[in-house]
Amino acid sequence: MSDFPFLSVLTVAPLVGAVVVAFLPRRRPELAKRIALGWSLAVLALSVAMWIAFKVGGDRMQFRESYPWIPDWGIRVTFAVDGIALVMLMLIAVLVPLVILASWHDADDGSGAPGEAARAGTVAVNKRSVPVYFALILALECTMIGVFAAADVFLFYVFFEVMLVPMYFLIGSYGGHQRQYAAVKFFLYSLVGGLFMLAAVIGLWAVGGRTFDWSALIGADIATDTARWLFLGFFVAFAIKAPFFPFHTWLPDAGGAAPAGAAALLVGVLDKVGTFGILRYCLPLFPEASRWFAPWALALAAIGIIYAALLAVGQNDLKRLVSYTSIAHFGFIGIGIFAFTTQAGTGAVLYMLNHGLATGLLFLVVGMLVARRRSALVSDFGGVGRLVPLLGGVLLFAGLASLALPGTAPFVSEFLVLIGTFTVNKPVAVIATIGIIFAAAYVLWMVQRTAQGTLNPALSEVDDMRRDLTARERVVVAPLIALLIVLGFYPKPVTDVINPAVQATMQDVGTSDPAPTAGNLEAAK
Amino acid sequence: MSEVNLPPIDYAALAPILIPFGVACAGVLVEAFVPRRARYLAQLGLALAGLLAALVAVVLVADRRVLTIGGAVAVDGPALFLQGTIVVLALIALLLIGERSLDNGGSFVAQAAITVGSERDRVQEEREPGATEVYPLTMFAVSGMLLFVAAGDLLTMFIALEVLSLPLYLLCALARRRRLLSQEAALKYFMLGAYASGFFLFGVALIYGFTVGVGNGRKGDQPGGVDFATIHAAVGDSSASPVLLFAGIALLSIGLLFKAAAAPFHVWTPDVYQGAPTSITAFMAACTKVAAFGGLLRVLYVAFAGAAWDFTPVLGTVGVLTMLVGAILAVTQTDVKRLLAYSSVANAGYLLVGVLAGSKDGLSSTMFYLVAYGFSVIAAFALVTLVRDPDGEATHLSRWAGLGRRSPLFASVFTFVLLAFAGIPLTSGFMSKFAVFGAALAAGQVWLVIVGVVSSMILAFPYLRVVVMMWLSEPSDATPTVTVPGALTSAAVMIGVLATLVLGVVPAWLLDLSRGAAEFVR
């Protein structure tokens, strides 16, 4: 079973699906949706098979495949995953079908996009193509899987950049208010970061022995100064992608303007490419530079936690608010990575997964609210729970999960990050802990103003607001809620996969720690 | 008087140059003897057949490495590779030039001498079929380019330069629509081109002075001369003042960089690209660029290789300036042809980065870049010819708003080409940029690469703006229609776009080819 070329099939399959869906006639939107959903479920099934075939405690990089591509430059199409990438691939495979299901009506004549209604006159003329929307999501899945599965720096870069294109059109063509501005800002920020990385990639190739193979580059002997510059090139790209303070300003715009499903993928998965890239490329390839830059990275992450939390409290737009909470969460992940302890590192990777689930859920639920109210402003809601108790309840759960309430999965990861950091860097851990208090403030206040309290009289006049979760929407939220609770009590299957990979990464950096591993922690509980 | 010794001539090796020349001359005869009605098909067929024959000739002599006609023409790897490139690109450009279904009678004027705006002019603009002289003119330009990249001495190079330039000046003036703009462009191109030729010729004279007393070591060679072998020897051990050499290189470079559209010799580019008939613009942007860089490569790599330490910093400055000027000014453009013109300037800068690597990698990556860019740029201009309103092409960017809604296929294809220009992976634009930057970095030109990357970031913005215009803006009543392309234009677009995609996904074969060809003979 392990000989099956899982990774190349997983990468190519969504692309084939995208092509199929894109060429369906515009008049058959239902067919396009069903095929897209079926296709993404097939990808999910394949990913589950891969998860089972993955040998816990086996080689660091598994399912390795390698084909020649451009021999002149030593470029090969090499796929391989470690535990970190495997977890992220599972996250993608789980999220995409749910996002497709959640976006079922998003592309139908602009109903899913607030602000579009204001220009109702133009909507009739410019019906947006439904098949193309779902084709873009599948194309995005292809590039997302590719970026995590690549084990060749060049191939990684190719996916990293191409990923922008479908997302750009998802935001730009199907987004809401200010979508043009947001799409261009997103594209330019990411492209600028990508070009910094391109310079570093070429530099790495020139000094690293003219190869792009990740495993060969790990041991490359690079002069200290050169390595620091190259590290910076990669780091800037990843910090923009993640995004870390002060490179974060594109995310609230993009997250606010993107359709809810695309926003869930943007924040849930796309941004993880940044933190994943730091773990996979920055740390092992430039260990000395990583240690040298670590204090700066920690400082940025800590500032990000507090700063984004403060901004989140002040937001009146639900999607922007969720975007800001994500920036704060990425601060936690950044701290976990640059603390250089296995515990914090494992926590950070687990955080990447849990944040994808929790924030994905939050975005999807917010999307359901927005689709009903045709507005994303907090002040347009109030007492939603009285009208649609189930939807209000899910919103509360998603909010609590995202502020890491014990019993939900994010708590485990946040806790691991904090104790892992506390053993080596107390001030940062303390600052980050303060961030948790803010997190409670922005989430609870948002939930209170939206779902609790007295009913906003304007709400009961909107017919759609009387509709509680439909069967389709229940199917969307149920798996995420289940995963968040299960992983909150029993994260061992995931930590077992992550732990060896993180340990290997920390060894690459040259910091070994005797601190208890996540497994011990479980035992201690 | 002593007997004149005729040097041996390898006609087979010269066939790729001689065939288009012959076809061009035959085209003049066709113009004189074939009745007017039949001329269009006869000329187009003749030109296409000539180029195909030239392509076959290139393939047949692909392995030949020889200096012939007493060293005046060097048939070697780079020459043949670039000749093949020019012929293929010219073929595609010829398809655009021959297109007659978009505009009534083609995009060329019937009689250029008629006063612009007069009653007769209006009549001919509406009805009369375009002049068929454009085909022989194009073929003369192509043969000039083919000779240019294979020139073995500076005088041959100068003659080739003139042969390729003069028809281009004329072709620029022959637009059917907006003829004043077209004529202005031609005049501007001609005046500045004449200056550049003057600089080039003066440079040749100085270099000749520099080579005094140095021979190239061939049998029966007199000391002194402007063939590249002699210059190469002179750079090593001439007793003449190096001022002659440096001034000579500078003046020669000005002549070449003018054709390549490098800053600060680029000022003609936007006006000429905008004013010329779009098919001719495509031809110039692709083929002239190949020829100019082919000449530049030969001069710098063969003749002046020994002086690389002296000219690299200066040309590096030119390269930096070119990239930045092209990128920054592209941001402010509101006309798509001018935008592409400034992008062409910036691309000249990226090509210079490859040239200045000074290595075999530099040579092969520059040649790869020329091929990749040529295909994309022809496709881009071909697509521009399709966006029309009753007055001809609608090139103002504001008019393009909402084209994606009206014609999704057109907009998708144009978006793909723009993404290629912006250097997004899986397009040839990315691979070629990667090639030149990699070669330059390996050669230690870190700053050139950094400026290259920074200017790429700037340049992404104007491309993206066009994409936004087409897809994310609402169409208005003023939005022009996208004409259904005729067979010729469709073919040109398809070849260009396919090449852009193929070279972006599987570039290995062309890289191999360019690497195998990257060896000059001296």
Confidence of residue A121 (pLDDT cuts 50, 70, 90): very low
Pairwise pLDDT comparison (A216 vs B75), residue with the higher score = B75
Is the overall model pTM greater than 0.95, yes or no? no
Q: Both tokens of residue A48?
A: 């589950």
Tally Cβ neighbours within 10 Å of residue A247: 22
Strand partners, A317: A377
First to last CA, chain B: 32
What is the number of alpha carbons within 13 Å of residue A521 lying toward its C-beta? Answer: 23
Length of chain A counted residue by residue: 525
Measure in Å the smallest separation between the Cα of A184 and chain B Cα atoms. 7
CB A110 within 8 A of CB A124: no
Of B441, B464, B472, which is closest to A206 when you measure between CB atoms?
B441
ipTM of the complex: 0.86
- Which residue numbers of A have CB closer than 8 Å to B's CBs? 68-73, 122, 125-126, 129, 157-159, 161-162, 164-165, 169, 172-173, 179-180, 183-184, 187-188, 191-192, 195-196, 198-199, 202-203, 205-206
pLDDT tens-digit series, residues B101-156 = 888 778 888 888 888 888 888 888 877 888 899 999 999 999 999 999 999 999 99
Measure in Å the smallest separation between the Cα of B333 and chain A Cα atoms. 18
Q: Where are the alpha helices (DSSP H) in A103-163?
A: 120-123, 130-149, 153-162
Q: Give the A:B interface size as CB pairs under 8 Å.
A: 84
Measure in Å the smallest separation between the Cα of A121 and chain B Cα atoms. 11
Q: Label residue B76 exposed, middle or buried (CB < 10 Å: 0-12, 13-18, 19+).
A: buried
Amino acid present at B444: G
Separation between Cα atoms, residue A114 and residue A176, nearest integer Å: 5
**Chain centroid offset of residue B41 CA:** 26
Of A129, A161, A172, which is closest to B424 when you measure between CB atoms?
A161
In this prediction, residue A513 carries a pLDDT of: 59
Separation between Cα atoms, residue A422 and residue A439, nearest integer Å: 19
Confidence of residue A123 (pLDDT cuts 50, 70, 90): very low
Is pLDDT of A119 > 60? no
CB B256 within 8 A of CB B156: no
Q: How many helices (H) and strands (E) does chain A have?
A: 24, 2
Is pLDDT of A126 > 60? no
CB A103 within 8 A of CB A174: no
Measure in Å the smallest separation between the Cα of A366 and chain B Cα atoms. 25
With CA atoms as reference, the chain B residue closest to A183 would be B468
In this prediction, residue A109 carries a pLDDT of: 56
Mode of pairing for the β-strands spanning B73-75 and B66-68: antiparallel
CB A146 within 8 A of CB A155: yes
* Phi, psi angles (nearest 5°) of residue A240: -70, -40
Is A184 close to B464, i.e. CB distance below 8 A? Answer: yes
pLDDT tens-digit series, residues A459-476 = 777 777 778 888 888 888
- Give mean pLDDT, residues B162-170: 95
Please spell the DSSP secondary structure of A269-333, one letter per residue: IITHHHHHHIIIIIHHH-HHHHHHHHHHHHHHHHHHHHHHHHHHHT--BHHHHHHHHHHHHHHHH
- Give mean pLDDT, residues A372-397: 85
Confidence of residue A512 (pLDDT cuts 50, 70, 90): low
pLDDT tens-digit series, residues A307-329 = 998 888 888 888 888 899 889 89
